[in-house]
Amino acid sequence: MPNPESLNLNQNLWGLIVSLGSLGAAEYFKLFYFFWFSFALTVIMTLSIAVTTLAYTIAYWKKKGN
């Protein structure tokens, strides 16, 4: 198993991993308010990754087209 410090992930992916972990913990321990907080955080991080990926894709297409 790779060392977690050697993983090269950006802030969006680390945030998504933490938010999904907290969502799972909230579900497992039946923590109502923490579940909804974690759910909102997961939605925000997912949208952030989608927007970032779209921006990188558009930049790639523009660069590839030239």
16-33 confidence digits (pLDDT tens): 999 999 999 999 999 999
Average pLDDT over residues 1-11: 75
CA–CA dist 10, 26 (Å, integer): 24
Average pLDDT over residues 30-37: 97
| Residue 38: other Cβ atoms inside 10 A | 21
Q: Could you give phi then psi for residue 7, rounded to 5 degrees?
A: -70, 130
CA–CA dist 48, 30 (Å, integer): 27
